[in-house]
Amino acid sequence: MSVRPPRLRALAWDLDGTVVDSGPAWHAVEVELARAHGGTWHESDSQACIGHPLEVTARRLRDRSTIRGTDTEIIRELSARLAQRFMRGGVPFRPGVPDLIEQARLAGLTQVLVTSASGSYVDALQRHLPAFTGAITGREVGVPKPDPEAYRRALDLIGETPDSVLALEDSAVGIAAATSAGLCTLACAGRAHGYAVAGVVTDLSSLRVEDLRDLHRRWLVRR
């Protein structure tokens, strides 16, 4: 008797760079905070922190300015500034994301957020994602991406196995985390960063849920 392959039942979304184009806003608040404490912050500093836990940003800010305080205190200040910026200017969703989230909701797919970020910024954005079952953030994990812990916790949260979930990620550390957890992974920023992913796109504007199902089916055959 043949065994039917697992079907796609859930999407696991990264936040920064995947759901939202938060890079420019992060850079702006990092520059603000560094300058407020007599320092400087360049685009290269922001690029060096992409995909890493916010503790990396906090430590780099201490190196680039006279700011004092714990990692937690600096992260809290950054998150509060970012949340205020989004409240004033709206959420900068990446192209195609709101439509794909709504399609997935209508198709009955479970959706979960998996991010190394935390704080008031993430809390504020979650209010704009009512279709999501829940989130695994930096608060819930002991080891950040590229460790697969966040994705494993997400699987526990939604009660799914790795072969029934598709992850959407943009950064090298995020793709490493998702693939290490055994998930079918779509690279959403034009690069696979050397990992064996199900597909690579520059944005999600041309994708439909059926495209994701097809990617998942082909990934199951290849693995």
Q: Per-residue confidence at 87, pLDDT binned at 50, 70, 90?
A: confident
Helix, strand, coil distribution of the chain in percent, nearest 5: 45, 10, 40
pLDDT (0 to 100) of residue 183: 98
**Over 60: is that where the pLDDT of 1 sits?**
no
Collect all residues with Cβ–Cβ distance below 8 Å to 97 and sequence separation of at least 6. 18, 19, 20, 204
Q: Is the pTM of this model over 0.75?
A: yes
Please, which pLDDT band fits residue 86 given cuts at 50, 70 and 90?
Answer: confident
Which CA distances in Å does 39 have to 33, 62, 81, 82, 126?
8, 9, 17, 19, 32
Helix (H, G, I), strand (E, B) or coil at 163: helix
H helical segments located in 90-222? 97-106, 120-126, 149-158, 172-180, 209-222
Is residue 121 over pLDDT 50? yes
**pLDDT, averaged across the chain:** 93
Does the pLDDT of residue 2 top 80, yes or no?
no
